[in-house]
């Protein structure tokens, strides 16, 4: 019934539509899309467009040109090409007329064997990357500039050739074409997950808008009728790789002839010497089995040794005297080869002279190096007279820990001075408060005199202002100064409480609402860029604990939430309350969130996702210790790209 309906629609379309031919620009030699067999163009795109031509009443004439020429032609209303098939990036349209999506594809990074895996666009920074001009990768990059060196090529195959010549480091290629080319270039491998998703579309110029509308209508009709699915299964079906059948037949034929010849020769030779070699064959089988057993043992040991080397967290390299890298486990190789490492004197580290010295003296060497905010330890040990092993270890965490210990020592000394500093700040603050109070009372007493003087001199001004306005400004200013002075005194008092030495016996009843309020005052500079919403329980939950330590926990959680949010739309929510599990504090943000692997590790000492900006990974581990000391529970609920909720539960102290 479905096919009868399709025939009726086809017949009515042929009767109503024009017979004007459509020239289809063909550029690909890649099965299963477009290629030529015995001088006849065929493939998924060509068969699909011919079927659309039957539905619309158009005769389809394939015309083969280069890809760049077709891209130029389709933008020229006077060209002899009406429509071509190209790939467009997802969510990015080309300027020309486009059909509905035909088939999905993607582009990945391709490198030589042995090169590092590319996880994201940032891994391409500084690399030479081959881009096919006019391809959907090229279209995508026009709106998404990247930090790599772009090398334009006319074909993806040109990029693969330049990769073998080491004139480029990476080729960004479309999946179907790359799969076709890889058997011809066995040293090239796929080095990333899909970086760009795209879809095949029929494309034409604005002159052919009506033609494109007909194509879309016919394409949708094919999808509804199921014929489109049959075409997809025919050319892209699971386990079926469409190839150039002509060349395949020739290869199979010559292979068959060669195999048949060798089989005949082997049969004659085997028959003539079978008796003499029977005993020898048994001996060889026994020897071969022993060798296979030895090879399996050696292979197992080799895999185990390789697994150990690959599992090391730092880079391991084997160099010869000519500074040629004979082997490496791939860790930190880019940093070693970059030449960006600096020694303790600030000079660029040179591997060659140190390598020669180690081989000449046969004594190992250790050097401390750094680059930006990261620190490295390099070890070189000789292996014989001509080779040396080099180990490069990232020691940034250890260096940061030493810095944190030194900073903690300095802060301990600074804490001893905080009381004196607070006293020195409080004295002038008190003077300001008392002076402003006297100033406000004096202004009230002077108002009658000011009114009387203004009656005598109607044009009298105070500081260039009308007396009424001047009195309002002075009154507002005195209130502002008094409020600011009292805020300074309140912050200094909070800071004194926060810096007071911690003692185990200092636990006492305290208000969770007050902990929130003090923590917000101490982090006012960080949270001022965000919208802050506080929901404090009217019952004022109370627990037994140390206010200073809990303020330290809250300050850490508030600062982490601020780091996770964008300043233009960040919302920080703080809440206190009680439920059947006890008194609680909740800190919510709408920041970047965390995956489950990160959530499981945030309480570990020295684990941090912000090491590149100086994070040490100690803040949340200290928070975990403090919460445990208060017999509390810490729950974390986080969703990537949506936000995080930190909930702290404590045993509630009943009101007296």
Q: Domain coordinates of the chain in residue numbers?
A: 2-100+201-236, 108-193, 315-327+339-391, 395-501, 507-656
Q: What are phi and psi of 370, to 5 degrees?
A: -150, 160
Beta bridge pairs of residue 374: 371
Fold exhibited by the domain 507-656? Heat Shock Protein 90 (3.30.565)
Q: Distance (Å, rounded) from C-alpha 200 to C-alpha 177?
A: 13
Q: Distance (Å, rounded) from C-alpha 293 to C-alpha 285?
A: 12
Handedness of CA 215, 221, 224, 225 (dihedral sign): negative
Q: Do residues 90 and 197 touch, judged by C-beta distance below 8 A?
A: yes
CA distance to 22, 36, 266, 282, per residue, from 254 (Å): 41, 22, 18, 35
Any idea what the Cα angle at residue 544 is, between residues 541 and 549, rounded to 5°?
Answer: 100
Q: Do residues 388 and 380 touch, judged by C-beta distance below 8 A?
A: yes
Domain 2-100+201-236: homologous superfamily in CATH = Periplasmic binding protein-like II (3.40.190.10)
Contacts of 182 (CB under 8 A, 6+ apart): 188, 189, 190
Which residues of the chain, if any, have pLDDT below 50? 1-18, 238-247, 505, 656
- Segments in 312-376 forming alpha helices (H): 333-338, 351-361
Contacts of 650 (CB under 8 A, 6+ apart): 512, 543, 545, 582, 583, 584, 630, 631, 632
Q: Distance (Å, rounded) from C-alpha 460 to C-alpha 224?
A: 88
Q: Distance (Å, rounded) from C-alpha 486 to C-alpha 143?
A: 53
DSSP string, 512-575: HHHHHHHHHHHTHHHHTTSEEEEE--TT--EEEE-HHHHHHHHHHHHHHHHHHS-TTT-EEEEE
Report yes or no on whether pTM surpasses 0.95. no
The number of angstroms, rounded, from the C-alpha of 620 to the middle of its chain's C-alpha atoms is 24
Beta strands 83-89 and 97-98: pairing type? unpaired
Which tens digits make up the pLDDT trace of 520-529?
A: 988 888 888 8
CA distance to 86, 137, 138, 151, per residue, from 80 (Å): 17, 26, 25, 31
Biggest alpha carbon distance in the chain? 143
Q: Do residues 205 and 75 touch, judged by C-beta distance below 8 A?
A: yes
Structure token pair of residue 44: 């998924």
Q: Do residues 471 and 443 touch, judged by C-beta distance below 8 A?
A: yes
Q: Distance (Å, rounded) from C-alpha 556 to C-alpha 552?
A: 6
Q: Distance (Å, rounded) from C-alpha 315 to C-alpha 79?
A: 57
DSSP designation for 492: H
Q: What are phi and psi of 189, to 5 degrees?
A: -135, 160
CA distance to 88, 153, 295, 562, per residue, from 139 (Å): 7, 14, 52, 36
Coil vs helix vs strand at 216: helix
Amino acid 238: pLDDT: 46
Q: Distance (Å, rounded) from C-alpha 363 to C-alpha 351?
A: 15
- Residue with structure tokens 């079926």? 240
Q: Distance (Å, rounded) from C-alpha 12 to C-alpha 5?
A: 11
Contacts of 378 (CB under 8 A, 6+ apart): 341, 349, 366, 367, 368, 369, 390, 391, 392, 393
Q: Do residues 576 and 648 touch, judged by C-beta distance below 8 A?
A: no
Fold match between domain 2-100+201-236 and domain 507-656: no
Long-range contacts of 5-8 (CB under 8 A, 24+ apart): 5/225, 6/225, 6/227
Amino acid 162: pLDDT: 94
Fold exhibited by the domain 108-193? D-Maltodextrin-Binding Protein; domain 2 (3.40.190)
- Segments in 165-208 forming alpha helices (H): 175-181
Sheet strand arrangement including 531-535? 531-535, 571-579, 582-589, 643-650, 633-639
- Segments in 312-395 forming alpha helices (H): 333-338, 351-361
Structure token pair of residue 175: 């999946």
Beta bridge pairs of residue 320: 387
Amino acid 484: pLDDT: 74
Q: Do residues 564 and 644 touch, judged by C-beta distance below 8 A?
A: yes
Q: Which helix (H) or strand (E) holds 543?
A: strand 542-545
DSSP string, 567-609: TTT-EEEEEEEEETTEEEEEEEE-S----HHHHHHTTSTT--S
Q: Distance (Å, rounded) from C-alpha 438 to C-alpha 157?
A: 86
Q: Please tell me the chain's helix, strand, coil percentages from 3-state DSSP, rounded to the nearest 5.
A: 50, 25, 25
Q: Do residues 146 and 170 touch, judged by C-beta distance below 8 A?
A: no
């Amino acid at each position: 019934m479905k096919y009868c309906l399709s025939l009726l629609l086809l017949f009515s379309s042929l009767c109503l539509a024009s017979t004007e031919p459509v020239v289809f620009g063909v550029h690909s030699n890649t099965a299963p899309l477009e290629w030529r067999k015995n001088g006849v163009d065929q493939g998924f795109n060509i068969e699909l467009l011919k079927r659309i031509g039957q539905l619309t009443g158009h005769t389809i004439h394939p015309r083969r040109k280069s890809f760049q020429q077709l891209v130029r032609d389709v933008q020229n209303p006077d060209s002899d090409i009406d429509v071509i098939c190209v790939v467009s990036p997802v969510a990015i349209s080309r300027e020309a007329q486009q059909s509905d999506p035909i088939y999905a594809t993607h582009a990945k990074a391709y490198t030589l064997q042995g090169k590092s895996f590319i996880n994201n666009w940032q891994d391409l920074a500084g690399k030479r990357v081959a881009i096919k001009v006019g391809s959907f990768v090229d279209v995508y990059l026009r709106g998404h500039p990247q930090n790599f060196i772009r090398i334009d090529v006319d074909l993806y195959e040109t990029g693969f050739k330049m990769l073998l010549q080491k004139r480029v480091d990476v080729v960004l290629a479309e999946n179907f074409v790359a799969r076709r080319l890889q058997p011809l270039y066995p040293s090239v491998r796929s080095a990333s997950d899909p970086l760009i998703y795209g879809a095949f579309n029929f494309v034409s110029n604005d002159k052919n808008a009506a033609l494109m509308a007909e194509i879309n209508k016919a394409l949708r009709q094919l999808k509804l009728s199921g014929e489109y699915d049959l075409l997809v299964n025919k050319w892209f079906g699971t386990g079926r790789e469409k190839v150039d059948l002509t060349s395949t037949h020739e290869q199979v034929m010559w292979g068959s002839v060669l195999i048949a010849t060798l089989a005949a020769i082997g049969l004659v030779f085997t028959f003539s010497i079978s008796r003499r070699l029977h005993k020898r064959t048994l001996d060889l089988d026994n020897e071969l089995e022993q060798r296979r057993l030895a090879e399996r043992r050696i292979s197992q040991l080799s895999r185990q040794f390789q697994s150990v080397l690959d599992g090391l967290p730092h880079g391991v390299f084997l160099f010869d005297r000519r500074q040629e890298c004979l082997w490496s486990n791939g860790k930190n190789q880019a940093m070693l080869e970059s030449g960006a490492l600096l020694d303790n004197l600030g000079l660029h580290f040179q591997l060659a002279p140190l390598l020669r010295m180690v081989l000449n003296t046969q004594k190992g060497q250790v050097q401390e190096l750094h680059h930006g905010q990261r620190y490295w330890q390099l070890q070189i040990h000789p292996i014989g007279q001509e080779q040396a092993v080099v180990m490069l270890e990232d020691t940034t965490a250890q260096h940061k820990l030493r810095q944190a210990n030194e900073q903690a020592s300095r802060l301990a000394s600074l804490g001893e001075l905080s009381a004196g500093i607070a006293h020195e700040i409080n004295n002038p603050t008190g003077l300001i408060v008392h002076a402003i109070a006297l100033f406000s009372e004096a202004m009230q007493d002077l108002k009658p005199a000011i009114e009387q003087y203004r009656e005598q001199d109607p044009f009298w001004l105070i500081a260039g202002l009308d007396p009424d306005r001047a009195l309002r400004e002075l009154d507002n200013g005195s209130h502002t100064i008094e409020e600011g002075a009292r805020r300074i005194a309140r912050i200094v008092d909070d800071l004194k409480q926060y810096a007071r030495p911690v003692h185990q016996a200092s636990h006492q009843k305290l208000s969770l609402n007050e902990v929130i309020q003090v923590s917000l005052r101490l982090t006012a500079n960080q949270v001022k860029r965000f919208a802050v919403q506080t929901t404090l329980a009217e019952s004022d939950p109370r627990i037994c604990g140390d206010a200073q330590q809990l303020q330290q926990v809250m300050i850490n959680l508030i600062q982490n939430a601020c780091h996770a949010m964008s300043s233009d739309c960040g919302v920080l929510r703080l809440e206190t309350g009680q439920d059947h599990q006890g008194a609680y504090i909740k800190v919510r943000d709408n920041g970047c969130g965390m995956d489950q692997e990160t959530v499981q590790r945030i309480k570990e000492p020295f684990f941090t996702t912000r090491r590149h900006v100086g994070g040490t990974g100690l803040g949340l581990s200290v928070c975990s210790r403090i919460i445990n000391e208060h017999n509390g529970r810490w729950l974390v609920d986080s969703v990537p790209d949506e936000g995080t909720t930190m909930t702290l539960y404590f045993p509630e102290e009943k009101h007296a």
